[in-house]
Structure 1
Amino acid sequence: MVGIVVVSHSPALAREVAALTRVLAPVPAPIAPAGGAADGSAGADIDRVRDAVRSVDQGDGVVLLADLGSSVLTARLLVEELGDPSVVLADAPLVEGAVAASVMAGAGAPLAEVLAAAEGARAGKL
Protein backbone atom coordinates (compact mmCIF):
# COMPACT_ATOMS: atom_id res chain seq x y z
CA MET A 1 0.00 0.00 0.00
CA VAL A 2 1.23 3.52 -0.82
CA GLY A 3 2.16 5.56 2.23
CA ILE A 4 1.39 9.22 2.83
CA VAL A 5 3.33 11.88 4.75
CA VAL A 6 1.76 15.17 5.83
CA VAL A 7 4.40 17.92 6.06
CA SER A 8 3.35 21.07 7.89
CA HIS A 9 4.87 23.95 9.81
CA SER A 10 2.52 23.00 12.62
CA PRO A 11 2.92 19.68 14.45
CA ALA A 12 -0.73 19.89 15.50
CA LEU A 13 -1.97 20.52 11.95
CA ALA A 14 0.06 17.62 10.56
CA ARG A 15 -1.35 15.29 13.25
CA GLU A 16 -4.93 16.45 12.69
CA VAL A 17 -4.79 16.11 8.89
CA ALA A 18 -3.46 12.57 9.34
CA ALA A 19 -6.21 11.84 11.86
CA LEU A 20 -8.89 13.22 9.52
CA THR A 21 -7.79 10.92 6.71
CA ARG A 22 -8.10 7.93 9.04
CA VAL A 23 -11.70 8.92 9.74
CA LEU A 24 -12.72 9.63 6.13
CA ALA A 25 -10.96 6.85 4.25
CA PRO A 26 -12.89 3.55 4.21
CA VAL A 27 -9.57 1.66 4.53
CA PRO A 28 -6.94 3.80 6.23
CA ALA A 29 -3.65 4.05 4.39
CA PRO A 30 -0.35 4.24 6.23
CA ILE A 31 -0.02 7.95 7.01
CA ALA A 32 2.39 9.88 9.19
CA PRO A 33 2.54 13.50 10.25
CA ALA A 34 5.83 15.37 9.91
CA GLY A 35 5.16 18.72 11.49
CA GLY A 36 7.28 21.35 13.09
CA ALA A 37 10.93 22.02 13.69
CA ALA A 38 13.29 19.69 15.54
CA ASP A 39 12.50 21.39 18.86
CA GLY A 40 8.74 21.01 18.32
CA SER A 41 8.15 24.65 17.43
CA ALA A 42 6.69 25.82 14.13
CA GLY A 43 8.89 25.08 11.15
CA ALA A 44 10.03 22.24 8.93
CA ASP A 45 12.62 19.61 9.75
CA ILE A 46 14.04 17.28 7.10
CA ASP A 47 14.85 14.58 9.67
CA ARG A 48 11.21 14.46 10.78
CA VAL A 49 10.09 14.12 7.17
CA ARG A 50 12.69 11.42 6.48
CA ASP A 51 11.59 9.46 9.58
CA ALA A 52 7.94 9.78 8.56
CA VAL A 53 8.71 8.48 5.05
CA ARG A 54 10.49 5.47 6.53
CA SER A 55 7.58 4.78 8.89
CA VAL A 56 4.97 4.56 6.11
CA ASP A 57 7.05 3.04 3.31
CA GLN A 58 5.73 -0.45 2.62
CA GLY A 59 7.53 -0.78 -0.71
CA ASP A 60 4.75 0.65 -2.90
CA GLY A 61 5.82 4.29 -2.74
CA VAL A 62 5.20 7.35 -0.61
CA VAL A 63 3.34 10.56 -1.43
CA LEU A 64 4.30 13.70 0.48
CA LEU A 65 1.87 16.59 0.90
CA ALA A 66 3.16 19.90 2.25
CA ASP A 67 1.41 23.03 3.42
CA LEU A 68 3.55 25.98 2.26
CA GLY A 69 6.91 27.70 2.04
CA SER A 70 9.70 25.92 3.84
CA SER A 71 7.60 22.78 4.30
CA VAL A 72 7.42 22.46 0.52
CA LEU A 73 11.12 23.21 0.19
CA THR A 74 12.00 20.66 2.88
CA ALA A 75 9.88 18.00 1.18
CA ARG A 76 11.49 18.80 -2.19
CA LEU A 77 14.97 18.59 -0.68
CA LEU A 78 14.22 15.18 0.78
CA VAL A 79 12.80 13.88 -2.51
CA GLU A 80 15.96 15.07 -4.27
CA GLU A 81 18.22 13.68 -1.54
CA LEU A 82 16.60 10.26 -1.69
CA GLY A 83 16.69 10.15 -5.48
CA ASP A 84 14.02 7.47 -5.31
CA PRO A 85 11.22 7.77 -7.88
CA SER A 86 8.87 6.01 -5.49
CA VAL A 87 8.95 8.98 -3.08
CA VAL A 88 7.09 11.94 -4.61
CA LEU A 89 5.80 15.36 -3.58
CA ALA A 90 2.23 16.12 -4.64
CA ASP A 91 1.30 19.55 -5.94
CA ALA A 92 -1.96 19.50 -4.02
CA PRO A 93 -3.91 21.25 -1.28
CA LEU A 94 -2.89 19.76 2.05
CA VAL A 95 -6.20 18.57 3.50
CA GLU A 96 -8.08 17.66 0.33
CA GLY A 97 -4.99 16.09 -1.21
CA ALA A 98 -4.28 14.00 1.87
CA VAL A 99 -7.85 12.71 2.02
CA ALA A 100 -7.96 11.89 -1.70
CA ALA A 101 -4.56 10.19 -1.55
CA SER A 102 -5.54 8.21 1.52
CA VAL A 103 -8.76 6.95 -0.06
CA MET A 104 -6.94 5.80 -3.19
CA ALA A 105 -4.03 4.28 -1.27
CA GLY A 106 -6.43 2.46 1.02
CA ALA A 107 -8.15 1.03 -2.06
CA GLY A 108 -4.81 -0.41 -3.16
CA ALA A 109 -4.15 2.00 -6.03
CA PRO A 110 -0.57 2.26 -7.34
CA LEU A 111 1.62 5.27 -6.66
CA ALA A 112 0.78 7.10 -9.90
CA GLU A 113 -2.97 6.91 -9.17
CA VAL A 114 -2.54 7.99 -5.55
CA LEU A 115 -0.47 10.97 -6.69
CA ALA A 116 -3.02 11.83 -9.38
CA ALA A 117 -5.86 11.70 -6.85
CA ALA A 118 -4.01 14.05 -4.50
CA GLU A 119 -3.24 16.49 -7.29
CA GLY A 120 -6.75 16.18 -8.69
CA ALA A 121 -8.12 17.45 -5.38
CA ARG A 122 -6.75 20.84 -6.44
CA ALA A 123 -9.57 21.13 -9.01
CA GLY A 124 -12.15 21.31 -6.26
CA LYS A 125 -10.46 24.44 -4.94
CA LEU A 126 -10.52 26.34 -8.23
Structure 2
Amino acid sequence: MVGLVLVSHSAALAAEAVALVRGIAGEEAPVAAAGGTLDGGLGTSVDLIEAAVRGVDQGDGVVLIPDLGSSVLTARLLEDDGRVVVADVPFVEGAIAAAVVAGAGAPLADVLAAAEEARTYRKL
Protein backbone atom coordinates (compact mmCIF):
# COMPACT_ATOMS: atom_id res chain seq x y z
CA MET A 1 0.00 0.00 0.00
CA VAL A 2 1.20 3.53 -0.77
CA GLY A 3 2.16 5.55 2.29
CA LEU A 4 1.64 9.26 2.89
CA VAL A 5 3.70 11.74 4.89
CA LEU A 6 2.27 15.16 5.71
CA VAL A 7 5.15 17.61 6.00
CA SER A 8 4.50 20.85 7.85
CA HIS A 9 6.44 23.62 9.54
CA SER A 10 4.42 22.84 12.66
CA ALA A 11 4.38 19.50 14.47
CA ALA A 12 0.90 20.28 15.81
CA LEU A 13 -0.47 21.13 12.36
CA ALA A 14 0.99 17.97 10.82
CA ALA A 15 -0.44 15.79 13.61
CA GLU A 16 -3.89 17.40 13.41
CA ALA A 17 -3.90 17.09 9.62
CA VAL A 18 -3.16 13.37 9.97
CA ALA A 19 -6.02 13.05 12.46
CA LEU A 20 -8.37 14.85 10.05
CA VAL A 21 -7.26 12.66 7.12
CA ARG A 22 -7.82 9.48 9.14
CA GLY A 23 -11.18 10.75 10.38
CA ILE A 24 -12.43 11.43 6.87
CA ALA A 25 -10.58 8.90 4.71
CA GLY A 26 -10.41 6.08 7.24
CA GLU A 27 -7.54 4.18 8.80
CA GLU A 28 -6.62 2.02 5.81
CA ALA A 29 -3.79 4.08 4.31
CA PRO A 30 -0.55 4.45 6.26
CA VAL A 31 -0.28 8.17 7.03
CA ALA A 32 2.36 9.89 9.17
CA ALA A 33 3.10 13.41 10.32
CA ALA A 34 6.51 15.05 9.91
CA GLY A 35 6.24 18.52 11.32
CA GLY A 36 8.51 21.00 12.97
CA THR A 37 12.15 20.64 13.90
CA LEU A 38 13.93 18.10 16.08
CA ASP A 39 13.92 20.54 19.01
CA GLY A 40 10.16 21.16 18.69
CA GLY A 41 10.37 24.51 16.91
CA LEU A 42 8.81 25.73 13.71
CA GLY A 43 10.51 24.55 10.55
CA THR A 44 11.14 21.26 8.80
CA SER A 45 13.56 18.44 9.44
CA VAL A 46 14.97 15.97 6.95
CA ASP A 47 15.47 13.53 9.84
CA LEU A 48 11.82 13.69 10.87
CA ILE A 49 10.64 13.27 7.29
CA GLU A 50 12.99 10.31 6.75
CA ALA A 51 11.69 8.63 9.91
CA ALA A 52 8.09 9.18 8.80
CA VAL A 53 8.85 7.75 5.35
CA ARG A 54 10.35 4.64 6.95
CA GLY A 55 7.26 4.35 9.15
CA VAL A 56 4.75 4.33 6.29
CA ASP A 57 6.79 2.64 3.54
CA GLN A 58 5.24 -0.72 2.73
CA GLY A 59 7.11 -1.14 -0.54
CA ASP A 60 4.60 0.49 -2.89
CA GLY A 61 5.92 4.03 -2.64
CA VAL A 62 5.41 7.09 -0.50
CA VAL A 63 3.81 10.44 -1.32
CA LEU A 64 5.11 13.47 0.58
CA ILE A 65 2.58 16.30 0.94
CA PRO A 66 4.26 19.50 2.16
CA ASP A 67 2.39 22.53 3.44
CA LEU A 68 4.36 25.47 1.99
CA GLY A 69 7.67 27.16 1.27
CA SER A 70 10.73 25.49 2.69
CA SER A 71 8.84 22.30 3.57
CA VAL A 72 8.59 21.72 -0.18
CA LEU A 73 12.34 22.18 -0.58
CA THR A 74 13.11 19.90 2.36
CA ALA A 75 10.70 17.21 1.14
CA ARG A 76 12.24 17.31 -2.34
CA LEU A 77 15.59 16.29 -0.81
CA LEU A 78 14.01 12.89 -0.14
CA GLU A 79 12.58 12.18 -3.59
CA ASP A 80 13.82 8.76 -4.59
CA ASP A 81 13.65 7.57 -8.21
CA GLY A 82 9.88 7.75 -8.37
CA ARG A 83 9.44 5.64 -5.24
CA VAL A 84 9.21 8.65 -2.90
CA VAL A 85 7.51 11.59 -4.59
CA VAL A 86 6.51 15.09 -3.55
CA ALA A 87 2.96 16.12 -4.44
CA ASP A 88 2.33 19.72 -5.48
CA VAL A 89 -1.16 19.81 -4.01
CA PRO A 90 -3.33 21.63 -1.48
CA PHE A 91 -2.24 20.34 1.94
CA VAL A 92 -5.57 19.20 3.38
CA GLU A 93 -7.56 18.41 0.24
CA GLY A 94 -4.64 16.65 -1.42
CA ALA A 95 -3.93 14.57 1.67
CA ILE A 96 -7.53 13.43 1.99
CA ALA A 97 -7.84 12.54 -1.70
CA ALA A 98 -4.54 10.67 -1.64
CA ALA A 99 -5.48 8.76 1.52
CA VAL A 100 -8.82 7.63 0.11
CA VAL A 101 -7.19 6.24 -3.03
CA ALA A 102 -4.19 4.79 -1.20
CA GLY A 103 -6.53 3.10 1.28
CA ALA A 104 -8.24 1.38 -1.64
CA GLY A 105 -4.89 -0.16 -2.60
CA ALA A 106 -4.21 1.95 -5.70
CA PRO A 107 -0.69 2.21 -7.12
CA LEU A 108 1.55 5.22 -6.51
CA ALA A 109 0.71 6.93 -9.82
CA ASP A 110 -3.02 6.80 -9.05
CA VAL A 111 -2.55 8.09 -5.50
CA LEU A 112 -0.48 10.98 -6.80
CA ALA A 113 -3.05 11.72 -9.52
CA ALA A 114 -5.89 11.78 -6.97
CA ALA A 115 -3.95 14.22 -4.81
CA GLU A 116 -3.20 16.43 -7.82
CA GLU A 117 -6.85 16.42 -8.85
CA ALA A 118 -7.62 18.11 -5.52
CA ARG A 119 -6.19 21.31 -7.03
CA THR A 120 -9.36 21.62 -9.07
CA TYR A 121 -11.85 21.21 -6.21
CA ARG A 122 -13.98 24.29 -5.76
CA LYS A 123 -15.58 25.28 -2.49
CA LEU A 124 -18.27 27.51 -3.96
* TM-score range normalised by the length of the shorter chain: over 0.9
Question: What does residue range 8-19 of structure 1 map to in structure 2 within 5 Å?
Answer: 8-19=8-19
Matching of residue 49 in structure 1 with residue 46 in structure 2 = no
TM-score (norm 2): 0.95
2:79 aligned with 1:89, yes or no? no
The residue number in structure 1 matching 2:20 is 20
Q: Distance in 1 between matches of 2:88 and 2:46?
A: 18
| Paired-residue identity, % | 64
Paired AA for residue 119 in structure 2:
R
Q: Which runs of 4+ in 1 moved over 3 A?
A: none
Alignment counterpart, residue 102 of structure 2, candidates 98, 102, 105: 105
RMSD: 1.2
Total equivalences in the alignment:
123
For structure 2, which runs of at least 5 residues remain unmatched after alignment?
none
Matched, 1:70 2:70: yes
Are residues 1:117 and 2:114 paired? yes
The residue that corresponds to 2:36 in the other structure is 36
Does the aligned pair in 1 maintain the 2:5–2:32 contact within 8 Å? yes
What is the CA-CA distance between 1:108 and the residue it aligns to?
A: 0.7
TM-score, with structure 1 as normaliser: 0.93
DSSP 3-state at the match of 2:121:
helix
> 1:7 touches 1:65 (CA, 8 Å); kept in 2?
yes
Flag structure 1 segments of 5+ consecutive residues without an equivalent: none
